[in-house]
């Protein structure tokens, strides 16, 4: 039964040309007339299997955009399509439920997705193995380190079996060593699962380290300012000279965007 | 680029796994269980010392004849009352009369307070309508309900339960409301992305997340049940009602039997503490420890 489901899904994937299509999306908060415009006419496609990072300074509305794609909020104008169903979402905080063990957190996602009880345990073990936390099924959330919690959160997001994974600065709160390791892990898992990823960050090097495409947003309101396609082969290292070179170029653009706000 | 030989550009899978295992081992929290000896010294000894001190001071006051004996009975006199009741076989009967009433009343309050709390916390109109009243009811002493309850229901067990309910239901409902209010919005958003919306969201996310607040409400609800019942038993005593701890106290007053009064007060106190220690505290501690919310002192 599981195989036919994956087959059907694979066919679906062959038909669609995008994992997410954002068309002329605008968002303003606080009243229809005098509201503050946060996102202004954003159009962006994420191709199946593509890794895109959204990069921007504070106030560029990148988290807002992610919430819109996740369906947690509605755009004021424009449309968002996610043909693969409800996208999975990972937050900056792990957002694991402390009343459940690591394994039960993942099982809850499976259960809400409608996976039959008999298959849940095996699937959970498989996902834990995927994030290299085999044997941590019974661990309580507070017994895990920050990096382990984010890996369980990633496993829980993968348990949704969505084509599209949205990540909202998921590594921002981690120490540099752990973050570096999780970059390697995420790259590995992305390549293994062939997921589409839309990754939000304000860390330029992180964006270049991970993505096939970097989209720079301007701030207040958020508009697409620039785009880079990256063909440096994976796995990359954040210390690589070509990563550093491109990071420098992108940082210059980012700083230019920020400077504009000081001029008036 | 010159450093590629010393630092491999693409780490092998095994290297990464090993690195990660090392990080996990370094960062993981070590959970230590407190040894029994330490628990005895730190948790059991202090209250025993306090009780012993109270007894010493009490005996001292009696020995020094600070006041008349009928006003302040000796600890031994209270002990004698206790053994007399035990030998007559009435002690357990009296305790059970009150405890069974309080527990049954508490369970009723639980069955009414829980849905009421859910309703108040989830439905805006209900909250605006009765939320403040429910919060205010907590500050109304349940003794106030004894008089109308007697007139409405007569001198019987239903009247006792009515007083317990009016005392405990607001506590339980308010505890649940507070618990639901304190659910971090992040959990709700995480639940939403996993597909837990509506009733599923309430069952899988809101209820378990609100459990600590709910348990605190239950704890307080029990205290209110017990206090309300004692008020009812003291004021509304009748031979038909069966002898509970409250009536025991009231009988002591009528017979000017100070040792009996002291015994009743001590028993009321002990039952209140015992139920809390045996049922609610362990429940609360287990829930908090599982969530890593219990900080070891």
> B159, B229 in Cβ contact below 8 A?
no
Q: Which has the closest alpha carbon to B8: A184, A207, A148, A210?
A: A184
> CA-nearest residue of chain A to B200?
A112
In a domain? residue B266:
yes
In a domain? residue B58:
no
In a domain? residue B48:
no
- Residue identified by tokens 């999975």 is A88
- Residue identified by tokens 């290297």 is B15
The token pair that represents A26 in the structure block: 């605008």
- Nearest by CB to B194, which of A108, A143, A144? A108
Residue B221: predicted pLDDT: 92
Residue B295: predicted pLDDT: 62
CA gap A182, B20 in Å, rounded: 9
Q: Which percentage of chain A shows pLDDT scores above 90?
A: 24
Q: Which has the closest alpha carbon to A192: A229, A243, A154?
A: A154
Residue A2: predicted pLDDT: 41
| pLDDT tens-digit readout, A188-224 | 999 888 899 999 998 999 998 898 999 988 877 888 8
Residue A110: predicted pLDDT: 92
Asked if B13 and A188 come within 8 Å (Cβ–Cβ), the reply is: yes
Asked if ipTM goes beyond 0.85, one says: no
Asked if A181 is an interface residue toward chain B (Cβ–Cβ < 8 A), one would say yes
In a domain? residue B261:
yes
In a domain? residue B17:
no
* A138 φ/ψ angles, rounded to the nearest 5 degrees: -90, 0
* Structural domain span for residue B118: 75-290
Question: How many domains in chain B?
Answer: 1
The token pair that represents A172 in the structure block: 């921002």
In a domain? residue B9:
no
Distance from CA of A91 to the nearest CA of B (A): 8
> CA-nearest residue of chain B to A165?
B193
| Beta strands across the sheet bearing A213-217 | A88-90, A164-168, A196-201, A51-55, A213-217, A224-229
Distance from CA of B178 to the nearest CA of A (A): 18
Q: How many other β-carbons are positioned within 10 Å of the β-carbon of residue B191?
A: 23
Name the stretches of chain B with pLDDT < 70.
1-14, 29-31, 295-297
Name the stretches of chain A with pLDDT < 50.
1-11, 13
CATH number at residue B153: 1.10.3720.10
- Adjacent-strand bridge partners of A29: A36
Beta strands per DSSP E along chain B: none
> A199, A52 in Cβ contact below 8 A?
yes
Preceding omega of B168 cis (within 30 degrees of 0): no
Asked if B200 is an interface residue toward chain A (Cβ–Cβ < 8 A), one would say yes
In a domain? residue B108:
yes
> What are the structural domains, with CATH classification, of chain A?
2-87+163-262 (3.40.50.300), 96-161 (no CATH)
* Long-range contacts at B286-289 (CB < 8 A, ≥ 24 apart): B287/A99, B287/B211, B287/B212, B287/B215, B288/B212
In a domain? residue B44:
no
């Amino acid at each position: 039964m599981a195989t036919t489901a994956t087959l059907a899904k694979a066919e679906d994937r062959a038909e669609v040309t995008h994992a997410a299509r954002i068309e002329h999306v605008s968002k303003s908060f606080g009243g229809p007339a005098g509201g503050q415009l946060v996102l202004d006419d954003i159009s962006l496609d994420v191709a199946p299997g593509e890794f895109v990072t959204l990069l921007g300074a504070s106030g560029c509305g990148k988290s807002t955009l992610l919430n819109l794609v996740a369906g947690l909020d509605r755009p004021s104008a424009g449309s968002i399509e996610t043909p693969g169903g409800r996208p999975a979402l990972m937050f900056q905080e792990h957002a694991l439920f402390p009343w459940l063990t690591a394994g039960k957190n993942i099982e809850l996602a499976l259960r809400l997705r409608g996976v039959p009880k008999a298959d849940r345990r095996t699937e959970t073990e498989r996902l834990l193995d995927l994030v290299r936390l085999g044997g941590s099924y019974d661990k309580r959330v507070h017994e895990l380190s920050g990096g382990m919690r984010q890996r369980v959160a990633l496993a829980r997001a993968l348990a949704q079996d969505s084509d599209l994974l949205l990540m909202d600065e998921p590594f921002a709160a981690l120490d540099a060593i752990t973050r570096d390791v999780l970059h390697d892990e995420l790259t590995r898992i992305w390549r293994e699962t062939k997921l589409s990823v839309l990754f939000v960050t304000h860390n330029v090097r992180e964006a270049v380290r991970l993505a096939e495409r970097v989209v720079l947003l301007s701030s207040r309101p958020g508009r697409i300012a620039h785009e880079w396609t990256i063909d440096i082969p994976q796995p990359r290292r954040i210390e690589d000279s070509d990563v550093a070179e491109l990071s420098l170029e992108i940082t210059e653009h980012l700083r230019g965007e920020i400077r504009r706000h000081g001029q008036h | 680029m010159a450093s590629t030989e010393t630092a491999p550009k693409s780490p092998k899978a095994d290297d990464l796994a090993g690195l990660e295992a090392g990080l996990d081992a370094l960062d993981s929290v070590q959970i230590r269980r407190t040894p029994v000896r330490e628990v005895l010294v730190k948790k059991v000894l202090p209250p025993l010392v306090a009780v012993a001190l109270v007894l010493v001071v009490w005996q001292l006051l009696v020995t020094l004849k600070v006041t008349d004996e009928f006003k302040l009975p000796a600890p031994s006199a209270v002990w004698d009352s206790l053994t007399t009741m035990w030998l007559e076989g009435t002690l357990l009967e009296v305790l059970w009369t009150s405890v069974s009433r309080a527990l049954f009343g508490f369970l009723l309050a639980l069955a009414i307070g829980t849905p009421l709390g859910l309703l108040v916390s989830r439905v805006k109109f209900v909250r605006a309508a009765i939320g403040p009243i429910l919060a205010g009811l907590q500050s109304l002493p349940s003794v106030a309900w004894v008089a109308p309850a007697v007139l409405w229901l007569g001198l019987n067990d239903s009247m006792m339960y009515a007083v317990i309910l009016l005392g405990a239901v607001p506590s339980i409902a308010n505890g649940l409301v507070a618990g639901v209010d304190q659910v971090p919005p992040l959990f709700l958003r995480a639940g939403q992305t996993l597909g837990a919306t509506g009733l599923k969201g309430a069952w899988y996310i809101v209820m378990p997340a609100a459990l600590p607040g709910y348990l605190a409400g239950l704890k307080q609800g029990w205290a209110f049940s017990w206090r309300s019942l004692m008020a009812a038993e003291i004021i509304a005593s009748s031979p038909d009602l069966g002898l509970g701890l409250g009536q025991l106290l009231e009988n002591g007053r009528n017979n000017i039997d100070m040792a009996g009064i002291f015994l009743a007060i001590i028993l009321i106190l002990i039952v209140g503490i015992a139920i809390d220690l045996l049922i609610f505290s362990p429940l609360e501690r287990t829930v908090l420890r599982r969530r890593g919310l219990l900080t070891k002192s």
